């Protein structure tokens, strides 16, 4: 009898208990929190990938530093890290190091950024670095760079830049952002510039104080549904550190217009223009327009695909990129979603009279057109395609093959 009672007691203990209403609510809450956590991690991954970083817990890994390459420095391996928001939302520490195998040059630097309001775009930063930068280039504030970072592989001329400075970034209204910057720079040109007519040696090194104001605005136009403009402005003033009379001013502007009236059609137009007054050196001239180092290369959306790097220079220029994309076909698996993009690009540039006998200009107008078959197939979040561009007009080359550029396209779907 005693064994029968003990057996029934053990069986009752082992039987599964029915969930109460409170238990069900608790389990649903746990599932909801786990789903929310995974969604946040995926969103964070996409944001960091668009910036060129791979999230790795407490740090983000800069992908461009792992393997870098350009035609001047060759292969340039290295490592770049920044602290992630999972470590702190109040500050960000960054550091990088890389080594150029061809030019045997070391690059290194770091920064400290203090966020004034958590994850919002308001912070101040101090930085110091020794790095190589593309000759004659300019950049704007913010924006996605995932589809444009490939242009760096075609860089033909760089200047070693040692800089120490800081910046303050603030929001300007609901859609605007501004940044105030200062840096003390020592620039050392490393090779003669292709656009130079008389210089057999690179220009002399110089030191300067550089002050900058940068503005960015992104919004929508209610009167024309589907139109999303992004506007940029830069204003910079340089003052020679050892030659105080070497003062110059730069102003740069850019407008991006994306028009998507329907699911299958998409149009984009980029306009940019710039001018420099009293340029003290060839290094200050605008020349980073083209990316054709070889007949076959990587597609870069907003560059002259058939122009050689630093082939021309300008103290004032206007540039336009018109793109019209048509969706050809979409399947359910999502691996075959090709787009056909028609492109036309144009550039007009002039040189101040002080530089006309020293550099090649593009005053007559440079023109090219092309076809780009995007996303012929996808692998994970990368789409692969093929592009072909043709150079025509006053600056057409004598050999026809030199007017063509064939490109492999990589689109990052993040």
Boundaries of every domain in the chain: 121-412
pLDDT tens digit string along 220-234?
Answer: 766 666 678 899 999
Q: Could you give the percent of the chain with pLDDT greater than 90?
A: 51
Q: Which of the residue ranges 159-168, 330-339, 345-354 would you say has the lowest mean pLDDT?
A: 330-339
Q: Work out the angle at residue 408's Cα, subtended by the Cα atoms of residues 406 and 68, and round it to the nearest 5 degrees.
A: 115
CATH assignment, 121-412:
2.40.160
Highest mean pLDDT among 158-172, 232-246, 368-382: 158-172
3-state helix, strand, coil in the chain (%, to 5): 15, 50, 35
3-state secondary structure of 50: helix
- Give residue 72's pLDDT: 87
In the DSSP assignment, the letter for residue 16 is: P
Instruction: Answer for the pair 215, 187: CB distance below 8 angstroms, yes or no.
Output: no
**CA–CA distance, 294 with 308 (Å, rounded to integer):** 9
- Give residue 250's pLDDT: 97
Q: What is the mean pLDDT of residues 370-386?
A: 85
**CA–CA distance, 137 with 283 (Å, rounded to integer):** 10
Instruction: Answer for the pair 73, 100: CB distance below 8 angstroms, yes or no.
Output: yes
The pTM of this model reads: 0.84
Q: Which long-range contacts (CB under 8 A, 24 or more apart) does 46-50 make?
A: 46/414, 48/84, 49/146, 49/381, 49/412, 49/414, 50/144, 50/145, 50/146, 50/412, 50/414
How sure is the predictor about 19, in pLDDT bands with cuts at 50, 70 and 90?
Answer: low
Instruction: Answer for the pair 109, 93: CB distance below 8 angstroms, yes or no.
Output: no
3-state secondary structure of 279: coil
Instruction: Answer for the pair 75, 169: CB distance below 8 angstroms, yes or no.
Output: no
How sure is the predictor about 5, in pLDDT bands with cuts at 50, 70 and 90?
Answer: very low
How sure is the predictor about 17, in pLDDT bands with cuts at 50, 70 and 90?
Answer: low
Q: What is the mean pLDDT of residues 117-140?
A: 87
pLDDT tens digit string along 233-256?
Answer: 999 999 998 876 789 999 999 999
How sure is the predictor about 275, in pLDDT bands with cuts at 50, 70 and 90?
Answer: very high
Mean pLDDT taken over the chain: 85
For residue 42, is pLDDT > 80?
Answer: no
**CA–CA distance, 354 with 248 (Å, rounded to integer):** 14
- Give residue 2's pLDDT: 45
Among 345, 288, 282, smallest CA distance to 151 is for 288
Higher-scoring residue by pLDDT: 116, 19: 116
pLDDT tens digit string along 313-327?
Answer: 999 999 999 999 988
Q: What is the mean pLDDT of residues 143-172?
A: 82
Q: What is the mean pLDDT of residues 256-275?
A: 87
Task: Name the helix (H) or strand (E) containing 158.
Answer: strand 158-172
For residue 201, is pLDDT > 90?
Answer: no
Q: Strand 67-70 to strand 74-83: parallel, antiparallel, or no bridges (unpaired)?
A: antiparallel
- Give residue 403's pLDDT: 96
**CA–CA distance, 356 with 196 (Å, rounded to integer):** 10
For residue 143, is pLDDT > 80?
Answer: no
**How far apart, in Å, do the first and last CA atoms of the chain sit?**
70
Q: Is 132 exposed, middle or buried (0-12, 13-18, 19+ CB in 10 A)?
A: buried
DSSP 257-274: EEE-SSSSEEEEEEEEEE
Distances (CA, A) of 351 to 135, 195, 291, 318, 354: 17, 12, 21, 12, 8
Distances (CA, A) of 107 to 98, 110, 125, 161: 5, 11, 20, 10
**CA–CA distance, 342 with 344 (Å, rounded to integer):** 7
Instruction: Answer for the pair 161, 131: CB distance below 8 angstroms, yes or no.
Output: yes
Q: Beta-carbon neighbour count of residue 76 at 10 Å?
A: 22
Instruction: Answer for the pair 404, 374: CB distance below 8 angstroms, yes or no.
Output: no
Among 214, 210, 356, 220, smallest CA distance to 285 is for 356
DSSP 328-393: ----TTSS---EEEEEEEEEEEE--TTTTTTB---TT-EEEEEEEEEEEEEETTEEEEEEEEEEES
- Give residue 351's pLDDT: 96
**CA–CA distance, 217 with 77 (Å, rounded to integer):** 35
């Amino acid at each position: 009898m005693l064994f029968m009672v003990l057996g029934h007691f053990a069986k009752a203990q082992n039987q599964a208990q029915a969930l109460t209403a409170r238990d069900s609510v608790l389990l649903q809450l746990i599932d909801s929190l786990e789903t929310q956590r995974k969604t946040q991690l995926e969103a964070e991954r996409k944001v960091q990938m668009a910036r060129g970083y791979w999230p790795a817990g407490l740090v983000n890994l800069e992908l461009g530093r792992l393997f870098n390459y350009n035609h001047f420095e060759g292969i340039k391996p290295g490592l770049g890290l920044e602290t992630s928001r999972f470590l702190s939302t109040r500050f960000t520490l960054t550091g990088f190091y890389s080594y150029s195998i061809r030019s045997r040059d070391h690059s290194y630097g770091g920064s400290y950024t203090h966020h004034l309001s958590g994850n919002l775009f308001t912070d101040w930063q101090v930085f110091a670095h020794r790095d190589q930068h593309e000759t004659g280039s300019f950049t704007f504030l913010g924006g996605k760079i995932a589809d444009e970072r490939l242009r760096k592989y075609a860089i033909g001329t760089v200047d070693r830049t040692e800089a120490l400075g800081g910046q303050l970034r603030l929001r300007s209204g609901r859609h605007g952002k501004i940044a105030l910057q200062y840096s003390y720079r020592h620039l050392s040109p490393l090779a003669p510039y292709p656009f130079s007519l008389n210089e057999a040696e690179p220009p002399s090194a110089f030191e300067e104080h550089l002050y900058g104001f940068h503005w960015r605005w992104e919004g929508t136009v209610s009167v024309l549904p589907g139109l999303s403009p992004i506007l940029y402005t830069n204003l910079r003033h340089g003052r020679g550190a050892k030659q105080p009379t070497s003062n110059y001013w730069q102003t740069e502007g850019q407008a991006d217009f994306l028009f998507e009236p329907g699911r299958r059609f998409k149009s984009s137009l980029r306009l940019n223009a710039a001018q420099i007054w009293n340029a003290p050196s060839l290094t200050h001239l605008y020349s980073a327009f083209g990316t054709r180092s070889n007949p076959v290369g990587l597609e870069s959306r907003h560059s002259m695909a058939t122009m050689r790097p630093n082939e021309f220079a300008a103290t004032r220029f206007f540039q336009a990129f018109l793109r019209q994309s048509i969706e050809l076909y979409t399947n359910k698996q999502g691996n075959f979603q090709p787009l056909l993009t028609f492109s036309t690009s144009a550039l007009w540039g002039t040189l101040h009279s002080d530089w006309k006998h020293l550099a090649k200009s593009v005053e007559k107008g440079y023109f090219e057109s092309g076809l780009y078959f995007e996303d012929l197939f996808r692998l994970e979040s990368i789409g692969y395609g093929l592009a072909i561009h043709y150079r025509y007009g006053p600056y057409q080359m004598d050999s026809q093959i030199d007017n063509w550029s064939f490109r492999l396209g990589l689109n990052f779907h993040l």
